[in-house]
Amino acid sequence: MSALPAPPPRRPDDLTPEDVRAEFPELQRTMNGKPLVFLDTGATSLKPAAVIDAITTFYRHDYGTVRRGAYRISHESTAAYEQVRGKAARFVGATNSDEIVFVRGTTEALNLLSTSMSRGVLKEGDEIVITAMEHHANIVPWQIACQQTGAVLKVAPMTLSGELDMAGYKALIGPKTRVVSAIHVANSLGTVNPIADMAEIAHGVGAWLIVDGAQSAPHMPVDVAALGCDFYTCSGHKMLGPTGAGILWGRYDLLADLPPYQGGGEMIDKVTFEETTYDVPPHRFEAGTPAIAQVIGLGAAIDYLSAIGMDRIHAWDQEILGYAVEKLRGVGGIRFIGEAAQRSGLVSFVMEGAHASDLGMILDQTGVCIRAGHHCAQPVMRFFDVPATARASFGPYTTRNDIDALTAGLQTARRLLS
C-alpha cells in the first residue's frame, strides 16, 4: 500500500456553475440553433477540457503499457496509472489503494462480484437481497448467480413515494442472507437510500453489503467507512471521466478471499500447464492490458471534481433539484415519479396526454437533451404503472437557465400535445 496522493488545491470560493459550464467544450455548441442544454448526466456526463487534455496528452507524449515494459515510458505509464488508484481510494474515503480495482464501470463491477461470489461464496439456499428500485445491472447478474448456485433472490419493497420500505427490508434479512446489493441513488427516481442503516442490518446477520454508487459518486461526498458497506462501485463516465474506466472498492480481506473474475496476463502469480496461482488484489481482478488512457482520464476527472469540492457539488445539486421541482410544478399536467424525502441528481416525471418519447423529441427541437424511456429499470416502471418517464438529470455544469429552458420546452410540448 502506497501513500495516497494529496488532493488538488481547492478552486475559488466564488466559483459558479456558469464558470464550470464554460470549461466543457461540448456546451459551447448549439443544437437546432439554440444553446445546448444537456440534462442527461444520469446516463453519461459531459467532459471538461481538463479531462480531454489529460487523455490526449497521454496518447501524444506519454503512452506505454503498464506493469510489463523494462523501458522508461512503461515505468512512467505504470506510475501514472497506479497514482490514479490512490486518487480513487481518496475519492471514496478508502485508506488502502490496494482496495481499488479498475473496471469498465459499475455494470462490470457488479458482474465481477456476482461471478466471483458464484465461484467461491454463494451456495444453494443462500439468499441475495436487492431492492425494488434497482437498475438492470443490479438485477440480472444476481439472477444469473442464483441460476448457477441455487441461491435465492429476494426483493425489498419500496413505497409509492419511491422510498425503500425499511420494515420490509428488515423482514427479508435473516440467517440465510449472504449478500445485499443496493443502489445508493436510484437512477430512475433520484431516491437516496439509507445505506448506513441497511449495512447495520445486513451485518447483523453476517451478510455483505454491495453499493451501486453510479449515481451517488458524481453528486455527493462518498465515505465508504461512514456508509459501512463492504463493496462500493461507480462509473467514470458518469463523473466527468471517459467511458471504459470505473472504480470497484472492496474491503481487502474480502477481495483476498474472492476467486478471479477473468483469466489472462497480469492477474497471475505462476502459470504451468498443470495449475495456476493468482496475484493478490487488486491485480488478481485486472486481467489483460487495461484501459490505460481511460484510467488516466478518470484520474483527471477525480482531480477536477475534488478541486471544486464534492461538498459544493452536492450543495448545488440540491439547489438545482429544488429549483427544477418548483419550476416543473408550474407547467401543469406534470406528475413526478419518485418523491422521496431524500433525493439527488434528477427529476423523473410524466406529462398528462403525452408519451415520454414525444416530450424528448419536442425538447430536442429546443436544444434540450433529456432521457425518455424505462432507464434500464423496467420493474420500477411496472411498479408505477407507466411505460416510460422523462428524466432530467443534472451535473455541476447545470444552471438555472438550463432549467428555465426545460420548463419553456415542456410548456411548448403541452400546447402541442393537448
Instruction: Determine if the peptide bond prior to 282 is cis (ω within 30°).
Output: yes
> d(Cα 201, Cα 206) in Å, to the nearest integer?
9
**Residues designated catalytic:** 376
H or E element, residue 180: strand 177-183
In our burial notation (b when 16+ CB lie closer than 10 A, e otherwise), range 235-253 reads bbbbbbbbbbbbbbbbbbe
Is 105 in contact with 135 (CB distance < 8 Å)? no
Using the structure block, give the residue that is written with the C-alpha cell 422510498: 163
Q: What does the DSSP 8-state code read for residue 2?
A: P
H or E element, residue 312: helix 310-329
272 Cβ contact list (under 8 Å, min separation 6)? none
Helix, strand, coil tally for the chain in percent (to 5): 45, 20, 40
For residue 38, give the 3-state DSSP assignment. strand
Neighbours of 417 (CB within 10 A): 15
Q: What does the DSSP 8-state code read for residue 191?
A: B
